[in-house]
């Protein structure tokens, strides 16, 4: 395998806030060029042209991560782009495609466990076909229909996500109770919002008026946009309130100011204040 040094010249410009560089990936690791003759080896039947990577270091910026992976898989003829996301559900994972299943499988076996940014990579075959592959195999028109199907599927799963279903049931109930439509929006419970001036700054935030069905993950995703989030705690007995803890008061203040009155579901204003000491 060719030496894959860091492609410093092709890297995106460094960002002053997070001064990270893609790892200089070298191939000193002997396990990566294991060209053994293997007449008894059978490629798994779930093999795919695309590998699904997990256990990637989540503190590495997504664009650097992509660049690094491109670099790391260069000798296996990786097909750009490498797909990685920074959102809560998808962080620490990536999709990397190759020209054929055999090459993907080779990469999978040889690169498995490679300690990228200190964490051993976990490689498996992707469950679904990547757009790049569909495009390559079926041409532009086949790709369009593939994309349409994918979009439909996505809308479906969005439609029957419990949070949305609950919100819609609520709307329906309100409309039924009031046929004039004057109060088509569900009546809001009266909330007591402690005036901030009576509360000392606190690394712990108190949330009120959360929409029905809000999950811990929903809140984590929203609050994790602001640095130093430590923990989100729901209150099982009171579904519309929660606590969110940051590492320090300053971080909590940033999040509080950004997210007070934020509408998680697009209509219910969440109240964010410091928790009482």
> How far from the centroid of its chain's Cα atoms is residue 183's Cα?
37
Does 145 bind DNA (CB under 7 A)? Our answer is no
User: Distance between CA 199 and CA 212 in Å, rounded?
Assistant: 27
Residue closer to DNA (CB basis): 186 or 222: 222
Query: With DSSP H G I counted as helix, E B as strand and the rest as coil, what are the percentages for the chain, rounded to 5?
Result: 35, 20, 45
Of 141, 132, 68, the residue nearest 104 (C-alpha): 132
Write phi, then psi, for 107 (nearest 5 degrees): -60, -45
For residue 90, the minimal CB distance to DNA (Å) is 5
Does 132 bind DNA (CB under 7 A)? Our answer is yes
Provide the edge-to-edge strand list for the sheet that holds 50-54: 79-84, 94-97, 50-54, 122-125
Does 222 bind DNA (CB under 7 A)? Our answer is no
Does 131 bind DNA (CB under 7 A)? Our answer is yes
For residue 137, the minimal CB distance to DNA (Å) is 13
Does 117 bind DNA (CB under 7 A)? Our answer is no
Which one of the spans 28-36, 81-89, 175-183, 238-246 is the region binding DNA (CB under 7 A)? Answer: 81-89
For residue 255, the minimal CB distance to DNA (Å) is 19
**Residue position matching structure tokens 């809140």:** 219
Alpha helices in the chain (DSSP H): 62-72, 101-111, 131-159, 162-177, 216-223, 249-259
Does 274 bind DNA (CB under 7 A)? Our answer is no
Does 158 bind DNA (CB under 7 A)? Our answer is no
| Footprint of DNA on 174-193 (CB under 7 A) | none
Footprint on this chain of DNA (rule: CB under 7 A): 50, 52, 54-55, 58, 83, 85, 87-93, 95, 97, 124-132, 150, 154
């Amino acid at each position: 395998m060719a030496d894959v040094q860091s492609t410093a010249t092709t890297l995106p410009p460094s960002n002053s806030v997070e001064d990270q560089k893609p790892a200089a990936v070298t191939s000193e690791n002997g396990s990566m060029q294991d060209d053994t003759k293997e007449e008894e080896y059978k490629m798994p039947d779930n093999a795919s042209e695309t590998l699904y990577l997990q256990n990637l270091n989540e503190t590495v910026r997504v664009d650097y991560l992509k660049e690094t992976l491109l670099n790391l898989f260069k000798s296996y003829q990786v097909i750009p782009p490498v797909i990685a996301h920074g959102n809560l559900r998808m962080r620490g994972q990536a999709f990397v495609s190759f020209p054929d299943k055999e090459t993907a499988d080779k990469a999978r076996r040889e690169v498995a466990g490679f300690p990228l940014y200190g964490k051993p990579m976990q490689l498996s075959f992707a469950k679904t076909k990547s757009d790049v592959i569909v495009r390559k195999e079926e041409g532009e028109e086949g790709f369009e229909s593939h994309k349409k199907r994918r979009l439909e599927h996505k809308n479906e799963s969005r439609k029957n996500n419990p949070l949305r279903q609950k919100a819609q049931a609520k709307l329906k109930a309100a409309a039924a109770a009031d046929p004039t439509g004057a109060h088509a929006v569900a009546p809001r419970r009266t909330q007591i919002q402690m005036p901030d001036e009576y509360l000392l700054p606190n690394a712990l935030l108190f949330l009120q008026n959360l929409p029905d069905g809000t999950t811990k993950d929903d809140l984590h995703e929203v609050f994790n946009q602001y640095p130093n989030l430590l923990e989100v705690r729901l209150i099982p007995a009171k579904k519309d309130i929660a606590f969110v803890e940051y590492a320090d008061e300053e971080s909590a203040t940033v999040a509080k100011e950004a997210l007070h009155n934020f509408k998680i579901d697009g209509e219910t204003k969440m109240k964010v204040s410091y928790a009482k000491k």
